[in-house]
């Protein structure tokens, strides 16, 4: 009798599956869960399957059930994002099946919708989890991470908040306590964030605005100001290449130079060349800016030579009545004079081309650096294996290919 019942059940399942067609974008298997209604089958959302469509064939009625996808949204904004979360929550008010995979899928699409720095959206994602089901009931459950998949999912959500600089609030603490209890690992992660994030929020001495401008010119000004901020006397100047008659490019130049650097250019030896180097990269939050520098070779420090093993001229302070010998004082190096070279100016251009850099040198020559007309300048750019050598008033230029 038992064998006959099992055989009947297997035949019923085989008949049901014969009327079922599953379409996936990558050909993976999907596990099916039944609801009370026999004419409708709900498939839980899977993280590895995108745009899954399920069709059920029936002689009397045909129905297509399609899971909501963040990739297929037409208007990618905050309202659409919150509406998709609301649709998922209202579909299953009790168990919220597939909530972990839904949250992971939503986290990947946050930057596309422009909500990766919105605290309200993160609270809405946490609210997807059912309340009270994942609370640890004893010490073993608390220490061995009761419901680890759900707890790790929310820890990843909090980590993404920390990476984007979003600070949680007290309401999020209440949400985590209602979902995982006081001994949940996500709540520990929340407490660590609330301890460290306020300490590091305003610790950056060269802070930049949270929302960066879309204009490349304004972004270059922020980058050059951040790099040259070590000298409070530095001057940020905007030049136009079209002001130079021989210029080919028509773009802007953001230049930074201080009076100390102008003095270093003035006393530079005309026989030693200067170098225009770049392009170097600097990051302003998640934006990248290329900049160039005008550099001179480093000057060796004066060193006094003496034999450390010579003991013939040891002077004892309380027996030596002669006044100490006054040694000549050396001039202190400025902040621009480093061990690997002396930085004389910085710039960022709109095209980062050789012609725009040549126009920058000519602008510097006209504005407080007349000594550049007698100093040879070598252009060493990383984007090209060639070098441009400018000499004799920067009026004549020749291209040389160095041997490397």
CA angle 186–84–45, rounded 5-degree value: 70
- What is the pLDDT, as a whole number, of residue 56? 39
Q: What's CA 24's distance to the chain center, in Å?
A: 34
Closest CA to 253 of 356, 377, 364, 353: 356
Closest CA to 43 of 31, 51, 55: 31
Tens digit of each residue's pLDDT (9 = 90 or more) over 310-365: 777 676 666 666 666 666 666 788 888 888 899 999 999 998 888 999 999 999 99
Higher pLDDT, 75 or 173: 173
Cβ-contact 80, 73 below 8 angstroms = yes
- What is the pLDDT, as a whole number, of residue 2? 55
Closest CA to 128 of 102, 147, 148, 146: 102
Question: CA-CA-CA-CA torsion for 293, 297, 301, 306, nearest 10 degrees?
Answer: 150
pLDDT (mean) for 33-56: 38
How is the chain split into domains, by residue range?
A: 9-66, 78-200, 216-298+335-400
Q: Is the pLDDT of residue 196 over 90?
A: yes
Higher pLDDT, 67 or 136: 136
Q: Is the pLDDT of residue 59 over 50?
A: no
Three-state helix/strand/coil letters over 153-220: HHHHHHHHHHHCCCCCCHHHHHHHHHHHCCCCHHHHHHHHHHHHHHHHCCCCCCCCCCCCCCCHHHHH
Cβ-contact 272, 356 below 8 angstroms = no
- CA–CA distance from 331 to each of 302, 304, 371 (Å)? 10, 15, 22
Share of the chain above pLDDT 90, in %: 42
State the pLDDT confidence band at 5, using cuts at 50, 70 and 90.
low
Q: Is the pLDDT of residue 187 over 90?
A: yes
Question: Is the previous residue joined to 279 through a cis bond, with omega within 30 degrees of 0?
Answer: yes
- What is the pLDDT, as a whole number, of residue 1? 53
State the pLDDT confidence band at 34, using cuts at 50, 70 and 90.
very low
- What is the pLDDT, as a whole number, of residue 395? 40
Higher pLDDT, 323 or 376: 376
Token pair listed for 373: 């007309």
pLDDT (mean) for 180-191: 94
* Euclidean distance between CA atoms 261 and 243, whole angstroms: 24
Tens digit of each residue's pLDDT (9 = 90 or more) over 88-112: 998 877 778 889 999 999 999 999 9
Tens digit of each residue's pLDDT (9 = 90 or more) over 240-293: 999 888 888 889 999 999 999 999 999 998 899 999 998 899 998 888 999 999
Q: Is the pLDDT of residue 35 over 50?
A: no
Token pair listed for 259: 């009076």
pTM of the model: 0.64
- What is the pLDDT, as a whole number, of residue 45? 41
pLDDT (mean) for 114-126: 93
Cβ-contact 283, 373 below 8 angstroms = no
How are beta strands 387-391 and 377-381 bridged, if at all? antiparallel
Cβ-contact 353, 381 below 8 angstroms = no
Transcribe 330-372 into DSSP letters.
Answer: PPPPPTTEETTEEEEEEEEESS--HHHHHHHHHHHHHTT-GGG
- What is the pLDDT, as a whole number, of residue 48? 37
The burial class, CB within 10 Å (0-12 / 13-18 / 19+), for 256 is buried
* Euclidean distance between CA atoms 147 and 133, whole angstroms: 9
- What is the pLDDT, as a whole number, of residue 91? 84
Angle between helix axes 78-91 and 99-108 (nearest 10 degrees) is 170
**Please, what's the b/e burial string for 65-88 (b: 16 or more CB within 10 A of its CB; e: otherwise)?**
eebeebeebeeeeeeebbebbeeb
State the pLDDT confidence band at 50, using cuts at 50, 70 and 90.
very low
* Euclidean distance between CA atoms 5 and 16, whole angstroms: 17
Judged by average pLDDT, the poorest of 19-33, 146-160, 304-318 is 19-33
* Euclidean distance between CA atoms 160 and 102, whole angstroms: 16
- What is the pLDDT, as a whole number, of residue 319? 63
pLDDT (mean) for 33-41: 38
pLDDT (mean) for 185-206: 91
- What is the pLDDT, as a whole number, of residue 169? 93
Q: Is the pLDDT of residue 237 over 80?
A: yes
pLDDT (mean) for 210-227: 90
Q: Looking up tokens 């605005």, which residue turns up?
A: 209
Residues in the chain: 404
* Euclidean distance between CA atoms 240 and 325, whole angstroms: 56
Query: Average per-residue pLDDT in the chain?
Result: 78
- What is the pLDDT, as a whole number, of residue 322? 66
- CA–CA distance from 205 to each of 125, 185, 199, 201, 290 (Å)? 34, 33, 13, 11, 22
- What is the pLDDT, as a whole number, of residue 120? 94
Cβ-contact 100, 138 below 8 angstroms = no
State the pLDDT confidence band at 301, using cuts at 50, 70 and 90.
confident
- What is the pLDDT, as a whole number, of residue 404? 33
């Amino acid at each position: 009798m038992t064998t006959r019942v099992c055989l009947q059940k297997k035949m019923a399942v085989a008949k049901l599956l014969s009327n079922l067609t599953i379409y996936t974008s990558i050909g993976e298997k999907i596990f099916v869960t039944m609801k009370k209604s026999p004419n409708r089958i709900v498939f839980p959302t899977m993280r590895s399957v995108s745009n899954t469509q399920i069709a059920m064939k029936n002689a009397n009625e045909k129905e297509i059930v399609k899971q909501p996808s963040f990739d297929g949204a037409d208007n990618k904004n905050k309202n659409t994002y919150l509406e998709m979360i609301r649709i998922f929550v209202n579909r299953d008010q009790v168990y919220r099946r597939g909530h972990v995979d839904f949250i992971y899928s939503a986290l990947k699409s946050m930057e596309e919708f422009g909500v990766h720095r919105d605290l309200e959206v993160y609270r809405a994602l946490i609210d997807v989890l059912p309340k009270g089901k994942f609370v640890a009931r004893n010490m073993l459950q608390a220490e061995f991470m009761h419901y680890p998949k759900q707890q790790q999912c929310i820890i990843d959500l909090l980590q993404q908040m920390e990476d984007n600089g979003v600070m949680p609030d007290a309401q999020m603490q209440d949400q985590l306590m209602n979902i995982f209890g006081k001994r949940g690992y996500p709540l520990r992660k929340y407490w660590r964030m609330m301890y460290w994030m306020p300490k590091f929020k305003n610790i950056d001495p060269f802070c930049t605005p949270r929302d960066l401008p879309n204009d490349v010119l304004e972004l270059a000004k922020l980058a050059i100001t951040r790099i040259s901020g070590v000298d409070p006397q530095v001057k940020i100047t905007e030049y136009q290449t079209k002001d130079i008659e021989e210029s080919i490019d028509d773009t802007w130049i953001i230049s930074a130079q201080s009076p100390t650097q102008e003095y270093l250019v003035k006393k530079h030896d005309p026989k030693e060349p200067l170098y225009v180097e770049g392009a170097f990269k600097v990051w302003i939050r998640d934006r990248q800016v290329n900049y160039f520098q005008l550099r001179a070779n480093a000057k060796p420090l004066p060193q006094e030579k003496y034999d450390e093993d010579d003991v013939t001229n040891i002077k004892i302070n309380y027996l030596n009545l002669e006044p100490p010998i006054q040694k000549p004082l050396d001039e202190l190096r400025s902040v621009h004079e480093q061990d690997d070279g002396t930085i004389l100016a910085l710039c960022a251009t709109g095209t980062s081309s050789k012609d725009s850099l040549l126009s920058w040198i000519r602008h510097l020559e006209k504005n407080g650096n007349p000594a550049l007309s007698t100093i040879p300048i070598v252009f060493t750019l990383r984007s090209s294996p060639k070098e441009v050598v400018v000499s004799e008033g920067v009026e004549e230029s020749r291209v040389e290919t160095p041997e490397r």
